[in-house]
Structure 1
Amino acid sequence: MWKVSTVALIAILSAASSGWSEEVNGLRTVDEFDGFADETARSQALFEEMAKVIQHPRCLNCHPADNTPRQGMEMRIHEPPVVRGDSGFGAPGMRCNTCHGSENVDYVSGDGSIPGHSPWMLAPIEQAWIGKTVAEICAQLKDPERNGGRTLAELHEHNAHDGLVGWGWTPGEGRESAPGTQELFGELTNAWIEAGAACPEG
Protein backbone atom coordinates (compact mmCIF):
# COMPACT_ATOMS: atom_id res chain seq x y z
CA MET A 1 0.00 0.00 0.00
CA TRP A 2 1.18 3.49 -0.85
CA LYS A 3 2.13 5.71 2.09
CA VAL A 4 2.30 9.46 1.56
CA SER A 5 3.28 11.91 4.27
CA THR A 6 1.07 14.89 5.02
CA VAL A 7 3.77 17.28 3.78
CA ALA A 8 4.16 15.34 0.53
CA LEU A 9 0.41 15.21 0.02
CA ILE A 10 0.11 18.97 0.48
CA ALA A 11 2.92 19.49 -2.05
CA ILE A 12 1.21 17.24 -4.57
CA LEU A 13 -2.12 18.98 -4.15
CA SER A 14 -0.50 22.40 -4.35
CA ALA A 15 1.27 21.51 -7.59
CA ALA A 16 -1.89 20.06 -9.08
CA SER A 17 -3.98 23.06 -8.12
CA SER A 18 -1.76 25.39 -10.12
CA GLY A 19 -3.17 23.80 -13.28
CA TRP A 20 -6.77 23.85 -12.17
CA SER A 21 -9.09 26.51 -13.48
CA GLU A 22 -11.65 28.25 -11.34
CA GLU A 23 -15.12 27.40 -12.60
CA VAL A 24 -18.71 27.95 -11.52
CA ASN A 25 -21.02 25.24 -12.84
CA GLY A 26 -18.75 24.66 -15.85
CA LEU A 27 -18.08 28.33 -16.65
CA ARG A 28 -14.66 29.89 -16.05
CA THR A 29 -14.46 33.08 -14.02
CA VAL A 30 -13.13 36.35 -15.44
CA ASP A 31 -9.84 36.22 -13.54
CA GLU A 32 -8.97 33.02 -15.39
CA PHE A 33 -8.30 35.23 -18.43
CA ASP A 34 -5.87 37.62 -16.73
CA GLY A 35 -2.82 35.87 -18.19
CA PHE A 36 -3.37 37.13 -21.73
CA ALA A 37 -0.77 39.68 -22.82
CA ASP A 38 -2.76 40.56 -25.93
CA GLU A 39 -6.12 42.24 -25.22
CA THR A 40 -7.65 41.13 -28.51
CA ALA A 41 -6.80 37.51 -27.80
CA ARG A 42 -8.16 37.92 -24.27
CA SER A 43 -11.39 39.42 -25.59
CA GLN A 44 -11.80 36.58 -28.09
CA ALA A 45 -11.20 34.00 -25.37
CA LEU A 46 -13.77 35.68 -23.12
CA PHE A 47 -16.39 35.47 -25.86
CA GLU A 48 -15.56 31.80 -26.43
CA GLU A 49 -16.35 31.30 -22.75
CA MET A 50 -19.61 33.25 -23.10
CA ALA A 51 -20.45 30.94 -25.99
CA LYS A 52 -20.71 28.03 -23.56
CA VAL A 53 -23.90 29.73 -22.38
CA ILE A 54 -25.04 31.05 -25.75
CA GLN A 55 -24.70 27.66 -27.44
CA HIS A 56 -26.26 25.67 -24.62
CA PRO A 57 -29.64 24.15 -25.57
CA ARG A 58 -31.27 26.08 -22.72
CA CYS A 59 -30.58 29.24 -24.74
CA LEU A 60 -30.56 27.93 -28.31
CA ASN A 61 -34.07 26.51 -27.97
CA CYS A 62 -35.48 30.04 -27.96
CA HIS A 63 -33.13 31.35 -30.68
CA PRO A 64 -34.13 29.21 -33.69
CA ALA A 65 -33.29 30.17 -37.26
CA ASP A 66 -36.82 29.21 -38.32
CA ASN A 67 -40.20 29.91 -36.75
CA THR A 68 -40.37 26.91 -34.42
CA PRO A 69 -39.05 26.79 -30.84
CA ARG A 70 -37.12 23.76 -29.67
CA GLN A 71 -37.35 21.73 -26.47
CA GLY A 72 -35.01 19.70 -24.29
CA MET A 73 -31.29 19.07 -24.40
CA GLU A 74 -31.75 17.30 -27.73
CA MET A 75 -33.43 20.44 -29.13
CA ARG A 76 -36.43 18.59 -30.53
CA ILE A 77 -39.26 20.42 -32.28
CA HIS A 78 -41.72 21.96 -29.81
CA GLU A 79 -44.67 19.76 -28.92
CA PRO A 80 -47.50 20.69 -29.28
CA PRO A 81 -46.75 22.31 -32.66
CA VAL A 82 -46.44 26.09 -32.35
CA VAL A 83 -45.02 28.90 -34.47
CA ARG A 84 -43.28 32.20 -33.84
CA GLY A 85 -46.07 34.48 -35.05
CA ASP A 86 -45.54 38.10 -36.05
CA SER A 87 -44.32 39.23 -32.64
CA GLY A 88 -42.46 36.20 -31.30
CA PHE A 89 -45.28 35.52 -28.83
CA GLY A 90 -46.93 32.85 -30.99
CA ALA A 91 -49.76 32.80 -33.50
CA PRO A 92 -53.18 34.38 -32.77
CA GLY A 93 -55.20 31.93 -30.71
CA MET A 94 -52.07 30.03 -29.70
CA ARG A 95 -49.95 32.56 -27.85
CA CYS A 96 -46.98 31.35 -25.81
CA ASN A 97 -48.74 32.36 -22.58
CA THR A 98 -51.59 29.98 -23.41
CA CYS A 99 -49.42 27.32 -21.75
CA HIS A 100 -46.51 29.25 -20.26
CA GLY A 101 -47.38 31.28 -17.19
CA SER A 102 -45.34 33.80 -15.25
CA GLU A 103 -43.28 31.11 -13.49
CA ASN A 104 -42.30 27.46 -13.74
CA VAL A 105 -45.06 25.05 -12.71
CA ASP A 106 -44.13 21.55 -11.55
CA TYR A 107 -46.13 18.64 -12.90
CA VAL A 108 -48.49 17.10 -10.37
CA SER A 109 -46.54 13.87 -10.82
CA GLY A 110 -43.39 15.70 -9.70
CA ASP A 111 -41.56 14.49 -12.80
CA GLY A 112 -40.74 17.66 -14.74
CA SER A 113 -42.37 21.05 -15.16
CA ILE A 114 -43.87 23.56 -17.55
CA PRO A 115 -41.42 26.46 -17.96
CA GLY A 116 -42.66 29.94 -17.30
CA HIS A 117 -41.67 33.60 -17.19
CA SER A 118 -43.37 36.86 -18.09
CA PRO A 119 -42.84 37.52 -20.92
CA TRP A 120 -42.35 34.11 -22.55
CA MET A 121 -41.39 34.42 -26.20
CA LEU A 122 -38.95 33.54 -28.94
CA ALA A 123 -36.00 35.78 -29.66
CA PRO A 124 -36.48 37.85 -32.84
CA ILE A 125 -35.45 36.04 -36.02
CA GLU A 126 -32.58 38.55 -36.38
CA GLN A 127 -31.14 36.99 -33.22
CA ALA A 128 -31.23 33.40 -34.46
CA TRP A 129 -28.35 31.32 -33.07
CA ILE A 130 -29.09 27.74 -34.11
CA GLY A 131 -26.74 26.73 -36.92
CA LYS A 132 -24.43 29.73 -36.51
CA THR A 133 -20.75 29.68 -35.57
CA VAL A 134 -19.45 31.44 -32.47
CA ALA A 135 -17.90 34.12 -34.70
CA GLU A 136 -21.19 34.68 -36.52
CA ILE A 137 -23.11 35.00 -33.24
CA CYS A 138 -20.54 37.44 -31.90
CA ALA A 139 -20.84 39.67 -34.98
CA GLN A 140 -24.63 39.48 -34.69
CA LEU A 141 -24.61 40.52 -31.03
CA LYS A 142 -22.48 43.58 -31.81
CA ASP A 143 -24.71 44.71 -34.68
CA PRO A 144 -27.49 47.11 -33.52
CA GLU A 145 -29.53 46.17 -36.58
CA ARG A 146 -29.65 42.57 -35.36
CA ASN A 147 -29.39 42.86 -31.57
CA GLY A 148 -32.52 44.87 -30.86
CA GLY A 149 -30.79 48.24 -31.28
CA ARG A 150 -28.60 47.72 -28.22
CA THR A 151 -25.29 49.38 -27.51
CA LEU A 152 -22.59 47.18 -26.00
CA ALA A 153 -23.45 48.62 -22.57
CA GLU A 154 -27.10 47.72 -23.09
CA LEU A 155 -26.08 44.25 -24.25
CA HIS A 156 -24.21 43.80 -20.97
CA GLU A 157 -27.26 44.96 -19.04
CA HIS A 158 -29.42 42.50 -20.97
CA ASN A 159 -27.11 39.55 -20.35
CA ALA A 160 -26.54 40.41 -16.71
CA HIS A 161 -30.04 41.34 -15.56
CA ASP A 162 -32.80 40.42 -18.02
CA GLY A 163 -35.27 38.05 -16.39
CA LEU A 164 -35.91 35.87 -19.44
CA VAL A 165 -32.17 35.45 -19.95
CA GLY A 166 -31.94 34.58 -16.26
CA TRP A 167 -34.53 31.84 -16.66
CA GLY A 168 -31.75 29.80 -18.27
CA TRP A 169 -30.31 29.25 -14.78
CA THR A 170 -33.65 28.50 -13.10
CA PRO A 171 -35.34 26.35 -15.77
CA GLY A 172 -37.50 24.26 -13.48
CA GLU A 173 -37.72 20.62 -12.48
CA GLY A 174 -36.31 18.19 -15.00
CA ARG A 175 -34.11 20.63 -16.95
CA GLU A 176 -30.37 21.22 -16.97
CA SER A 177 -29.46 24.84 -16.35
CA ALA A 178 -27.12 26.86 -18.53
CA PRO A 179 -23.45 26.83 -17.45
CA GLY A 180 -22.33 29.19 -14.71
CA THR A 181 -24.72 31.80 -13.32
CA GLN A 182 -26.31 34.89 -14.82
CA GLU A 183 -24.06 37.03 -12.63
CA LEU A 184 -20.95 35.35 -14.02
CA PHE A 185 -22.31 35.56 -17.58
CA GLY A 186 -22.73 39.29 -17.04
CA GLU A 187 -19.20 39.61 -15.68
CA LEU A 188 -17.78 37.76 -18.69
CA THR A 189 -19.80 39.99 -21.02
CA ASN A 190 -18.49 43.13 -19.32
CA ALA A 191 -14.90 41.90 -19.41
CA TRP A 192 -15.27 40.99 -23.10
CA ILE A 193 -16.53 44.51 -23.86
CA GLU A 194 -13.81 46.21 -21.80
CA ALA A 195 -11.16 44.17 -23.62
CA GLY A 196 -12.40 45.46 -26.99
CA ALA A 197 -15.41 43.23 -27.79
CA ALA A 198 -13.35 41.25 -30.28
CA CYS A 199 -14.95 38.32 -32.06
CA PRO A 200 -13.31 34.92 -32.42
CA GLU A 201 -12.07 34.01 -35.87
CA GLY A 202 -13.91 31.56 -38.07
Structure 2
Amino acid sequence: MRILLTCSLVLALAACGPRPSPEQREKAVAAFATVQKVFQHPRCQNCHIPGDQPLQFDQGQPHAMGVVRGPEGKGAAGLPCATCHGEKNLPASYGPNAPPGAPHWQLPPPDHKMAWIGLPPKQLCEMIQDQKRNGDRDFAALLKHVSEDKLVLWGWEPGGNRLPVPVPHDEFVAQFKLWADAGGPCPAA
Protein backbone atom coordinates (compact mmCIF):
# COMPACT_ATOMS: atom_id res chain seq x y z
CA MET A 1 0.00 0.00 0.00
CA ARG A 2 2.82 2.37 0.89
CA ILE A 3 4.51 1.72 -2.47
CA LEU A 4 1.23 2.46 -4.27
CA LEU A 5 0.85 5.80 -2.43
CA THR A 6 4.48 6.72 -3.13
CA CYS A 7 4.08 5.89 -6.82
CA SER A 8 0.86 7.89 -6.99
CA LEU A 9 2.56 10.90 -5.41
CA VAL A 10 5.53 10.68 -7.80
CA LEU A 11 3.21 10.45 -10.81
CA ALA A 12 1.10 13.37 -9.57
CA LEU A 13 4.17 15.55 -9.09
CA ALA A 14 5.57 14.57 -12.49
CA ALA A 15 2.28 15.53 -14.13
CA CYS A 16 2.63 19.04 -12.76
CA GLY A 17 5.71 19.54 -14.89
CA PRO A 18 8.83 21.42 -13.96
CA ARG A 19 8.29 24.48 -11.82
CA PRO A 20 10.11 27.63 -12.88
CA SER A 21 12.75 28.94 -10.55
CA PRO A 22 11.97 32.22 -8.78
CA GLU A 23 14.21 34.00 -11.32
CA GLN A 24 12.45 32.34 -14.28
CA ARG A 25 9.08 33.21 -12.79
CA GLU A 26 10.11 36.83 -12.33
CA LYS A 27 11.30 37.03 -15.96
CA ALA A 28 8.09 35.38 -17.18
CA VAL A 29 5.89 37.79 -15.23
CA ALA A 30 7.92 40.68 -16.66
CA ALA A 31 7.44 39.19 -20.14
CA PHE A 32 3.70 39.11 -19.52
CA ALA A 33 3.76 42.92 -19.19
CA THR A 34 4.67 43.00 -22.90
CA VAL A 35 1.89 40.52 -23.70
CA GLN A 36 -0.58 42.71 -21.82
CA LYS A 37 0.60 45.84 -23.66
CA VAL A 38 -0.10 44.15 -26.99
CA PHE A 39 -3.41 42.51 -26.06
CA GLN A 40 -4.78 45.75 -24.60
CA HIS A 41 -3.76 47.87 -27.61
CA PRO A 42 -6.69 49.08 -29.78
CA ARG A 43 -5.63 46.78 -32.65
CA CYS A 44 -6.45 43.80 -30.44
CA GLN A 45 -9.01 44.95 -27.93
CA ASN A 46 -11.32 46.58 -30.50
CA CYS A 47 -12.45 43.05 -31.40
CA HIS A 48 -11.94 41.40 -28.01
CA ILE A 49 -14.98 43.07 -26.51
CA PRO A 50 -17.34 42.20 -23.65
CA GLY A 51 -20.48 43.12 -25.59
CA ASP A 52 -21.50 42.35 -29.13
CA GLN A 53 -20.64 45.58 -30.97
CA PRO A 54 -17.00 45.81 -32.06
CA LEU A 55 -15.03 48.99 -31.56
CA GLN A 56 -13.06 50.94 -34.14
CA PHE A 57 -10.28 53.51 -34.37
CA ASP A 58 -7.63 54.15 -31.75
CA GLN A 59 -10.24 55.69 -29.44
CA GLY A 60 -12.30 52.47 -29.33
CA GLN A 61 -15.51 54.02 -30.65
CA PRO A 62 -18.50 51.74 -31.21
CA HIS A 63 -18.43 50.40 -34.76
CA ALA A 64 -20.57 52.42 -37.17
CA MET A 65 -23.40 50.89 -39.24
CA GLY A 66 -24.84 48.91 -36.32
CA VAL A 67 -22.30 46.13 -36.78
CA VAL A 68 -22.61 43.27 -34.27
CA ARG A 69 -20.79 40.03 -33.44
CA GLY A 70 -23.42 37.62 -34.72
CA PRO A 71 -23.83 33.96 -33.75
CA GLU A 72 -20.34 32.89 -34.90
CA GLY A 73 -18.41 36.16 -34.52
CA LYS A 74 -18.61 36.86 -38.27
CA GLY A 75 -21.35 39.50 -38.13
CA ALA A 76 -25.11 39.44 -38.29
CA ALA A 77 -27.07 37.61 -40.95
CA GLY A 78 -27.20 39.90 -43.96
CA LEU A 79 -24.26 41.98 -42.75
CA PRO A 80 -21.23 39.73 -42.33
CA CYS A 81 -17.87 41.33 -41.55
CA ALA A 82 -16.70 40.36 -45.05
CA THR A 83 -19.21 42.81 -46.54
CA CYS A 84 -16.71 45.60 -45.88
CA HIS A 85 -13.55 43.85 -44.64
CA GLY A 86 -11.68 42.05 -47.39
CA GLU A 87 -8.73 39.66 -47.31
CA LYS A 88 -6.21 42.54 -47.14
CA ASN A 89 -6.03 46.28 -46.54
CA LEU A 90 -7.30 48.42 -49.37
CA PRO A 91 -4.78 50.59 -51.25
CA ALA A 92 -3.91 53.97 -49.72
CA SER A 93 -5.79 55.65 -52.58
CA TYR A 94 -9.06 54.57 -50.89
CA GLY A 95 -8.29 57.00 -48.06
CA PRO A 96 -7.04 56.72 -44.49
CA ASN A 97 -10.33 55.43 -43.06
CA ALA A 98 -11.08 52.72 -45.63
CA PRO A 99 -12.16 49.46 -44.02
CA PRO A 100 -9.11 47.40 -43.10
CA GLY A 101 -8.76 43.83 -44.22
CA ALA A 102 -7.12 40.55 -43.32
CA PRO A 103 -7.99 36.88 -43.89
CA HIS A 104 -11.02 35.66 -41.92
CA TRP A 105 -11.90 39.10 -40.52
CA GLN A 106 -14.14 38.41 -37.53
CA LEU A 107 -14.64 38.72 -33.80
CA PRO A 108 -14.13 35.86 -31.40
CA PRO A 109 -17.34 33.80 -31.23
CA PRO A 110 -19.80 34.62 -28.44
CA ASP A 111 -18.99 31.47 -26.45
CA HIS A 112 -15.39 32.64 -25.86
CA LYS A 113 -15.26 36.38 -26.41
CA MET A 114 -11.85 36.76 -24.81
CA ALA A 115 -12.89 40.26 -23.72
CA TRP A 116 -9.99 41.93 -21.98
CA ILE A 117 -10.73 45.65 -22.16
CA GLY A 118 -9.74 47.20 -18.84
CA LEU A 119 -8.84 43.91 -17.17
CA PRO A 120 -6.07 44.12 -14.59
CA PRO A 121 -2.95 42.08 -15.48
CA LYS A 122 -3.76 39.09 -13.24
CA GLN A 123 -7.27 38.67 -14.66
CA LEU A 124 -6.05 39.09 -18.24
CA CYS A 125 -3.34 36.49 -17.63
CA GLU A 126 -5.83 34.02 -16.17
CA MET A 127 -8.28 34.54 -19.03
CA ILE A 128 -5.71 34.02 -21.77
CA GLN A 129 -4.68 30.64 -20.45
CA ASP A 130 -8.17 29.43 -19.45
CA GLN A 131 -8.99 26.90 -22.17
CA LYS A 132 -12.70 27.11 -21.35
CA ARG A 133 -12.64 30.80 -22.31
CA ASN A 134 -9.92 30.90 -25.01
CA GLY A 135 -11.28 28.49 -27.60
CA ASP A 136 -9.66 25.40 -26.06
CA ARG A 137 -6.10 26.55 -26.81
CA ASP A 138 -3.14 25.28 -24.82
CA PHE A 139 0.10 27.30 -24.73
CA ALA A 140 1.36 25.78 -28.00
CA ALA A 141 -1.88 26.70 -29.79
CA LEU A 142 -1.85 30.19 -28.27
CA LEU A 143 1.73 30.73 -29.41
CA LYS A 144 0.85 29.58 -32.92
CA HIS A 145 -2.18 31.90 -32.91
CA VAL A 146 -0.19 35.01 -31.94
CA SER A 147 2.77 34.22 -34.17
CA GLU A 148 1.10 32.95 -37.39
CA ASP A 149 -2.56 33.95 -37.63
CA LYS A 150 -2.87 36.53 -40.43
CA LEU A 151 -5.67 38.39 -38.67
CA VAL A 152 -3.46 38.77 -35.58
CA LEU A 153 -0.50 39.81 -37.75
CA TRP A 154 -2.66 42.54 -39.28
CA GLY A 155 -2.24 44.47 -36.00
CA TRP A 156 1.33 45.27 -37.01
CA GLU A 157 0.34 46.48 -40.50
CA PRO A 158 -3.13 47.96 -40.02
CA GLY A 159 -3.03 50.37 -42.95
CA GLY A 160 -4.70 53.76 -43.19
CA ASN A 161 -4.13 56.12 -40.31
CA ARG A 162 -4.32 53.35 -37.69
CA LEU A 163 -1.48 52.99 -35.24
CA PRO A 164 0.21 49.58 -35.35
CA VAL A 165 0.83 47.57 -32.22
CA PRO A 166 3.80 49.41 -30.60
CA VAL A 167 5.87 46.30 -29.77
CA PRO A 168 7.68 44.67 -32.73
CA HIS A 169 6.00 41.36 -33.55
CA ASP A 170 9.14 39.24 -33.11
CA GLU A 171 9.74 40.80 -29.68
CA PHE A 172 6.12 40.16 -28.70
CA VAL A 173 6.32 36.51 -29.78
CA ALA A 174 9.60 36.04 -27.88
CA GLN A 175 8.06 37.53 -24.72
CA PHE A 176 4.90 35.45 -25.14
CA LYS A 177 7.02 32.30 -25.53
CA LEU A 178 9.13 33.15 -22.47
CA TRP A 179 5.94 33.60 -20.43
CA ALA A 180 4.30 30.44 -21.80
CA ASP A 181 7.42 28.29 -21.41
CA ALA A 182 7.46 29.14 -17.70
CA GLY A 183 3.89 27.87 -17.36
CA GLY A 184 2.20 31.26 -17.77
CA PRO A 185 2.70 32.68 -14.28
CA CYS A 186 0.38 35.57 -13.57
CA PRO A 187 1.24 38.84 -11.84
CA ALA A 188 0.26 38.95 -8.17
CA ALA A 189 -2.25 41.76 -8.57
TM-score range, shorter chain: 0.7 to 0.9
1:125-156 CA distance string (max 9 Å, x none): 42111232221111011111111111111111
Spell out the pairing of 1:127-166 with structure 2 (5 A cutoff). Answer: 127-166=114-153
1:47 matches 2:32: yes
What do you get for the CA RMSD once the two structures are aligned?
Answer: 1.7
Aligned residues: 167
Asked if structure 2 preserves the Cα contact closer than 8 Å seen for 1:160 and 1:187, the reply is no
**What letter corresponds to residue 180 of structure 1 in structure 2?**
V
Which residue of 109, 123, 140 maps to 2:108?
Answer: 123
Kindly indicate whether residue 66 of structure 2 is the aligned counterpart of residue 81 of structure 1: yes
Per-residue Cα deviation, 1:6-37 (whole angstroms, up to 9, x for no partner): xxxxxxxxxxxxxxxxxxxxxxxxxxxxxx96
Give runs of aligned pairs for residues 54-133 of structure 1, distance below 5 A.
54-106=39-91, 108=93, 110-125=95-110, 126=112, 127-133=114-120
- Asked if 1:198 corresponds to 2:185, the answer is yes
CA contact (8 A) 2:71 2:109 kept: no
**Consecutive aligned runs of 4 or more in structure 1 exceeding 4 Å deviation:** none
TM-score (norm 1): 0.77
Secondary structure of 2:29's aligned partner: helix
Structure 2 CA distance for partners of 1:40 and 1:162, relative to 1, 3 Å: same
> Partner of 1:42: helix, strand, or coil?
helix
Q: What amino acid is aligned across from residue 188 of structure 1 in structure 2?
A: Q
- Structure 1 partner of 2:14: none
Instruction: Provide the residue aligned with 2:154 in structure 1.
Output: 167
- Normalising by structure 2, we get a TM-score of 0.82
> Which consecutive unaligned segments of at least 5 residues does structure 2 have?
1-20
Unaligned runs of 5+ in 1: 1-35
**What one-letter code is carried by the residue in structure 1 that aligns with 2:37?**
K
Aligned 8 A contact 1:60 1:129 in 2: yes
